[in-house]
């Protein structure tokens, strides 16, 4: 009986809708369909039970960088985000030289093989100098398919996504290569036109890297990539809902046009997430975090975020007024599908990993369970 827990009395968000006074049964590390008599019962009346959050775009946290940290430091960053409800994290790398990125891919692939991270996202170096954001322009390069293949091979089957400015020479061929190897080709840090973006989608691109940011604005005569990415049902759009990267109207526009089934809420977090203000390094560039907003010391460009997904969840519901079910889809189910992991995570269904987040009535995080073990144990009584 010790391995069985019944989380009872909560609003349970399932793929089919919200179950009032519902329950989720945990058997060891999995969600079960039934529980034996005498199983531990945890009363979560008035709380919400939602699936563990899944972040496909995350550069670090807790003072640790996925781009430059040791394995132990990377794990510290992963754990920081677990404390905030993200039970599945893909580690994102910023631009570096090719030898450095292949070395990092080797280190991170080992952590992926151990189940600590869900895979590797290469955000650069194959991006536009016109839309580089917080990437070192001196290290940018064209997306030569041979070099893209080199990074994919270095990840040993653990590459999840590569962000590309697909209008650059080699861009479309690189998209096709990634699609052939089962790696997401994401359009981002791009200066592409509408027509060039459509061509990239037709070539196999399926994700928009942090939509709106690091790409041309939507125009009435030159709609640019934003219109192409929002209108195409093959594209999932990443959104950073931290109150800095997006105006609420832009968030609403994306949810309206793409629908909740095509949105993935991400953090794009850097090492200051869950840690505090101060000076940090993002790749080769120095960042100052002030009032939780990260900007490059030189130039002032936004440099990722300090967001955690529990804050994104609460903001999406309480500030933006999105339905809870839509937010769960965008913060758990959709990114799990992108990572090819929806058979294990992303919803509270029997047979899946017991990755569960407990939220109170105001959508503050109160508990986090990963594979049946509490990372943050809710302060509620347990009964038998």
221 is in an annotated binding site: yes
Q: So what's the pLDDT on residue 2?
A: 56
Nearest to 284 by CA among 91, 93, 80: 93
245 is in an annotated binding site: yes
Enumerate the H helices of the chain as residue ranges.
71-82, 98-113, 145-154, 171-180, 194-203, 224-231, 248-258, 309-318, 324-328, 334-338
- Grade residue 245 by pLDDT with cuts at 50, 70 and 90: very high
Q: Report the distance separating Cα 143 and Cα 166, nearest Å.
A: 8
Q: From residue 323, how far is each of 14, 201, 311, 320 by CA, in Å? A: 13, 29, 16, 9
Q: Report the distance separating Cα 351 and Cα 344, nearest Å.
A: 8
- Grade residue 38 by pLDDT with cuts at 50, 70 and 90: confident
302 is in an annotated binding site: yes
Q: So what's the pLDDT on residue 240?
A: 98
Q: What share of the chain is helix, strand, coil (3-state, %, to 5)?
A: 30, 30, 45
Query: Would residue 43 show up in a list of annotated catalytic residues for this protein?
Result: no
Report the Cα 82 to chain-centroid distance in Å. 12
List domains and CATH numbers for the chain: 4-50+346-383 (2.30.40.10), 53-338 (3.20.20.140)
pTM, whole model, 2 decimals?
Answer: 0.96
The structure tokens 């359009």 sit at 187
Active-site residue identified among 55, 191, 232, 268: 268
Helix axes 194-203, 171-180, angle to 10 degrees: 30
Strand 236-239 and strand 263-265: the pairing is: parallel
Section 251-263 average pLDDT: 97
């Amino acid at each position: 009986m010790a391995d069985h827990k019944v989380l009872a009395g909560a609003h349970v968000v399932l793929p089919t809708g919200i179950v009032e006074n519902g329950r989720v049964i945990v058997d060891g590390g999995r969600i079960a369909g039934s529980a034996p008599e005498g199983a531990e019962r945890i009363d979560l009346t008035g709380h919400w039970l939602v699936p563990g959050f899944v972040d496909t775009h995350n550069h670090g946290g807790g003072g640790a960088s996925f781009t430059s940290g040791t394995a132990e430091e990377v794990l510290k960053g992963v754990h920081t985000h677990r404390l905030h409800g993200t039970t599945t994290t893909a580690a994102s790398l910023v631009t570096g030289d090719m030898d450095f990125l292949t070395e990092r891919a080797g280190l991170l692939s080992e952590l992926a093989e151990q189940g600590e991270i869900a895979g590797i996202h290469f955000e650069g170096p194959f991006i536009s100098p016109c839309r580089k954001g917080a990437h070192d322009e001196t290290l940018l390069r064209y997306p030569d398919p041979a070099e893209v293949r080199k990074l994919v091979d270095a990840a040993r089957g653990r590459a999840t996504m590569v962000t590309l400015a697909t209008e650059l020479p080699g861009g479309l061929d690189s998209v096709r290569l990634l699609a052939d190897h089962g790696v997401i080709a994401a359009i981002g840090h791009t200066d592409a036109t509408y027509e060039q973006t459509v061509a990239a989608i037709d070539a196999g691109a399926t994700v928009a890297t942090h939509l709106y940011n690091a790409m041309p604005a939507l125009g009435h005569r030159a709609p640019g990539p934003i219109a192409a990415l929002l209108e195409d049902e093959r594209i999932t759009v990443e959104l950073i809902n931290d109150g800095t990267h997006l105006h609420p109207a832009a968030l609403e526009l994306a949810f309206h046009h793409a629908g909740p089934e095509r949105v993935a809420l991400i953090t794009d977090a850097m090492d200051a997430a869950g840690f505090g203000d101060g000076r940090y390094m993002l790749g080769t560039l120095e960042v100052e975090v002030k009032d939780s907003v990260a900007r490059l010391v030189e130039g002032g460009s936004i440099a990722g975020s300090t967001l955690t997904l529990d804050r994104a969840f609460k903001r999406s519901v309480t500030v933006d007024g999105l339905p809870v079910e839509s937010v769960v889809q965008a913060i758990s189910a959709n990114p799990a599908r992108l990572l090819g992991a929806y058979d294990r995570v992303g919803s509270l269904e029997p047979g899946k990993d017991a990755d569960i987040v407990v939220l109170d009535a105001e959508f503050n995080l109160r508990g986090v369970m990963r594979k049946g073990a509490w990372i943050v144990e809710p302060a509620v009584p347990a009964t038998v």
